[in-house]
Structure 1
Amino acid sequence: MSSLRRGGAREQATFWRDPNLNNLELLHATYVTHSFAPHTHEGYAIGVIEDGAERFKYRGSTHVAPQGSIVVINPGEMHTGAAAIEAGWRYRMLYPDVSLLQRAASKEAGHEASIPFFPSPVIHDPPLAAMLTTLHATLTASPFTLERDSKLTWAFTHLILRHADARFMLPPTTNERAHVQRVRAYLEGHFAENVSLEQLATLVNWSPFHLLRVFRDAIGLPPHSYLTQLRVMQAKRLLALTVSPAEVASMVGFSDQSHLTRHFKALVGVPPGEYARSCRR
């Protein structure tokens, strides 16, 4: 496991990445003025607000998570993050791969389960909050595999049993959704290129305006923001492979390292150099 710290008088963040748990990422941070740009995660974002309160936009509404509450963001859902009060907020976050939650659901069901979906992004459940806090502390400190695996399975299974519903997260495929997926696939295959809106619209034979509207409705982000997120996600993978931030910026399509840093910190919460150092310890 690797970690990093950053901070000043009021803001600080500690980040971990655990290769033994599908590269599970963990964050323990205090943010006051920092705000997260609209973004999504490949997996879940699960955390506990230890102090203060966080405000975020999610699924068309604005939510406030106060001290003691649990925040759960489903994979692929656009959301933001900022302080809800002047003092900011302190929280512990886990970013598990979908397979970790699906595995917990399967163990409870006794067979392969669908991907758990959490209908409420803010959950008030003090016993579960304590369980998740203990899990986070254990994963960042304990060297014992059995203890870590046991607490992870126990906490995630209780989260699913108490607060998930059984439906799949993605709605049935429609013609428009198929077109959106085609645009997504194109962006994923050409993330380092200077793609134009006209290119994307021509790809699915839509007007640029129609593409913007349908893509935003389906994904939660406009195409250019989704492309930025793809670049940041690829940057994370390259940084973990010891590629320098300057090289990464060029490889993933940012104009320079400062451009990479600005977008990386807005989405990940720490600068790329610190993320890279955490992956090498």
Structure 2
Amino acid sequence: MFLTVSGSAEVRAWRPALSGVVEVLHAHFPSHAYPSHTHDAWTVLIVDEGVVRYDLDHREHGLAQAQVSLLPPNVPHDGRSVRPEGFRKRVLYLEPDRLGDNVIGAAVDQPEYVDPVLRHRIHQLHGVLRDGKEDLEAQSRLTLIEERLRQHLRRNVSDPPELRDPGVARRLREVLDGHVPAGITLEDAARLVHAHPAHLVRAFSREYGMPPHRYLTGRRVDLARRYLLDGYPPAEVASLTGFYDQSHLNRHFRKMLGVTPASFVRR
């Protein structure tokens, strides 16, 4: 992660280990105005403070905190604050093939969406990417975000019907059970189960009352408990059970059991 501070402006930018996202940007601009420019990626933008005014393909648009803006690749746009105190924003830059070339015109015509579900999902994904330790969760959240963006671009914004698919959910659970320490990507799981990634997440969540990443974390914590009771030290347990490090294990262990791994063994 790179932090740049210039005057009173602050920018954090990094390339996450999430396939499909080429860059993440968090920025606070008290006075900066962007000149006209283009990106070679889809720009998914939310504003946390202030109001942004921008021109896209020679048409003026505005973006407030309740909205999501989707700017297509290679289309000129600029950006400036409406208010004197500036603005704070978070941006995901998606690979150009993630949404397709045939929807660029739709994005130019209507780049802003008032969609609380979409905005909340983007907010959640930013939190996961900033932590950088929850790969399956990040993949799942991005899949649902892209699905909803495509719905907007097709002007067909509605959640798909919540149809049960216990067979898909059961097969995904078996795949997750077989990859507890090693983990598995959502795309690889989808290939093994022969289902679309978004359908996998929805079917599993409906059948078992939790998303796949939370189920996998629970299985890892269960495995960690057994290693701890066998006398393994917490740092080694973290490695054996698929957590990034001991602090990552501690966080999820405490969330599930209310105590740290060391306290669990002492008690």
Q: TM-score range by the shorter chain?
A: 0.5 to 0.7
Query: Alignment partner of 2:99: what SS?
Result: helix
Distance (Å, rounded) in 2 between the aligned partners of 1:151 and 1:73: 20
The aligned residue for residue 237 of structure 2 is none
The reply on whether 1:130 has 2:120 as its aligned counterpart is yes
Query: Alignment partner of 1:86: what SS?
Result: coil
Residues 34-113 of structure 1 correspond to what in structure 2 (within 5 A)?
34-102=32-100
Residues 103 and 153 in structure 2, CA contact (< 8 A), matched pair in contact too: no
> Could you give the per-residue CA deviations for residues 155-214 of structure 1, whole angstroms, max 9, x where no partner exists?
1111211x1038xxxxxxxxxxxxxxxxxxxxxxxxxxxxxxxxxxxxxxxxxxxxxxxx
The aligned residue for residue 28 of structure 2 is 30
Structure 2: gaps of 5 or more residues: 156-267
Query: Alignment partner of 1:99: what SS?
Result: coil
Residues 1-281 of structure 1 correspond to what in structure 2 (within 5 A)?
3-7=1-5, 10-22=8-20, 24-102=22-100, 114-115=102-103, 117-118=106-107, 119-161=109-151, 163-165=152-154
Taking a change above 3 Å as real, the CA distance of residues 36 and 10 of structure 1, as seen in their structure-2 partners, is same
TM-score scaled to structure 2, two decimals? 0.53
> Could you give the per-residue CA deviations for residues 93-137 of structure 1, whole angstroms, max 9, x where no partner exists?
0111122334xxxxxxxxxx9556423122211221111111122
Deviation at 1:85, TM superposition (A): 0.9
Residues 6 and 13 in structure 1, CA contact (< 8 A), matched pair in contact too: yes
Larger Rg: 2
Residues 45 and 93 in structure 1, CA contact (< 8 A), matched pair in contact too: yes
Residues 40 and 77 in structure 1, CA contact (< 8 A), matched pair in contact too: yes
Distance (Å, rounded) in 1 between the aligned partners of 2:102 and 2:77: 23
Higher relative contact order (CA 8 A, sep 6+): 1
Structure 1: gaps of 5 or more residues: 103-112, 167-281
Distance (Å, rounded) in 2 between the aligned partners of 1:127 and 1:17: 25
Distance (Å, rounded) in 2 between the aligned partners of 1:33 and 1:130: 27
Name the Cα RMSD after superposition. 2.1
Q: What is the identity, as a one-letter code, of the residue corresponding to 2:150?
A: I
Distance (Å, rounded) in 1 between the aligned partners of 2:146 and 2:18: 17
Deviation at 1:23, TM superposition (A): 5.8
The aligned residue for residue 172 of structure 2 is none
Query: Alignment partner of 1:12: what SS?
Result: strand
Deviation at 1:19, TM superposition (A): 5.0
Q: What is the identity, as a one-letter code, of the residue corresponding to 1:155?
A: I
Residues 28 and 91 in structure 1, CA contact (< 8 A), matched pair in contact too: yes
Residues 55 and 77 in structure 2, CA contact (< 8 A), matched pair in contact too: yes
> Could you give the per-residue CA deviations for residues 25-64 of structure 1, whole angstroms, max 9, x where no partner exists?
0101111211112111111111111110111111221111
Distance (Å, rounded) in 1 between the aligned partners of 2:92 and 2:27: 12
Distance (Å, rounded) in 1 between the aligned partners of 2:66 and 2:95: 24
Residues 27 and 89 in structure 2, CA contact (< 8 A), matched pair in contact too: yes
Deviation at 1:79, TM superposition (A): 0.1
Q: What is the identity, as a one-letter code, of the residue corresponding to 1:144?
A: E
Deviation at 1:146, TM superposition (A): 1.1
TM-score scaled to structure 1, two decimals? 0.50
Deviation at 1:144, TM superposition (A): 2.4
Residues 30 and 89 in structure 1, CA contact (< 8 A), matched pair in contact too: yes
Percent identity of the aligned residues? Answer: 24
Residues 47 and 132 in structure 1, CA contact (< 8 A), matched pair in contact too: no
Q: How many pairs are equivalent?
A: 153
